[in-house]
Amino acid sequence: MKLKQNIESLIKLSDDSWNIIESSFTMKSFCKGELLLSEGQICKFVAFNIDGIIREYFYHGGTDTTSDFIFQDSFFSAYSSFVNQTPSKVYLEALTDSQVLVMDYQTKQKLFETVPEWDRLARKITEQHYSAKEQRTNMLASMTAEEKYNELLDYSNPEIIKKIPLKHIASYLGITPETLSRVRKRV
């Protein structure tokens, strides 16, 4: 039901189209700490997070850097790897036990031929994804540590944030764990 609500907030689907899309996803469960994708693997799925928190991260110079958190009711993938079918530069990890609806690459491609609204839906999801990435880039470049933390709290539920290790939050915000501790005391 969450998937349908999310999709219908973007476009209106015929019943036939919804039935085809719904049957194209498979439910998968991931345990806390389990990797959905590793660097170097080709991402063969696009997913919708039903429940849980997924972390996207990469290694650079031996440092683990969080590039995104995927909360419930969100589509996600290692986008460049998925679209181009090339090795991923990122890892996707379940930070909590998670329930995810998954669609494989071939199925997604077939939907362009079988579901009239799929092209428009895929474009809208891509636009949302790109917009979120741009906002994150702007946040990192232009906000203070406190503003970044408040932005994260505004974007997600503060109770959910408590489930994320502080080192990952600090990495995501582009600040040190010590700076994050000071910000949290002020906020």
**What confidence tens digit (pLDDT) does each residue in 12-47 have?**
999 999 999 999 999 999 999 999 999 999 999 999
Q: Is the pLDDT of residue 143 over 70?
A: yes
Closest by Cα among 67, 19, 25 to 50: 25
Residue 28: per-residue pLDDT: 98
More confident: 2 or 160: 2
Side-by-side strand order, sheet with 74-76: 26-30, 98-104, 45-51, 74-76
Residue 139: per-residue pLDDT: 84
Q: Six-digit token pair at 142? A: 């232009």
Under a CB-based contact definition with an 8 Å cutoff, are residues 83 and 126 in contact? no
Q: What percent of the chain has pLDDT over 70?
A: 99
Q: Is the pLDDT of residue 134 over 80?
A: yes
Q: Six-digit token pair at 36? A: 């959905």
Cα–Cα distance measured from residue 140 to residue 147, given in angstroms and rounded to the nearest whole number: 10
**Which residues sit opposite 39 in a β-bridge?**
none
| For range 105-121, the mean pLDDT | 94
Write the CA distances from 38 to 31, 84, 99, 125, 181, integer angstroms: 16, 16, 19, 23, 30
Which segment of 77-86, 105-114, 177-186 scores lowest on mean pLDDT?
177-186
The residues near 174 (Cβ < 8 Å, ≥ 6 apart) are: 140, 148
φ, ψ dihedrals at 38, nearest 5°: -115, 155
| For range 163-183, the mean pLDDT | 92
Residue 157: per-residue pLDDT: 67
pTM for this one? 0.90
Q: Six-digit token pair at 16? A: 């036939």
Domains identified in the chain and CATH numbers: 2-115 (2.60.120.10)
pLDDT band at 186 (very low <50, low <70, confident <90, very high): confident
Residue 1: per-residue pLDDT: 82
Under a CB-based contact definition with an 8 Å cutoff, are residues 153 and 173 in contact? no
Classify strands 35-37 and 91-94 as parallel, antiparallel or unpaired. Answer: antiparallel
Under a CB-based contact definition with an 8 Å cutoff, are residues 36 and 56 in contact? no
Residue 86: per-residue pLDDT: 98
Residue 29: per-residue pLDDT: 98
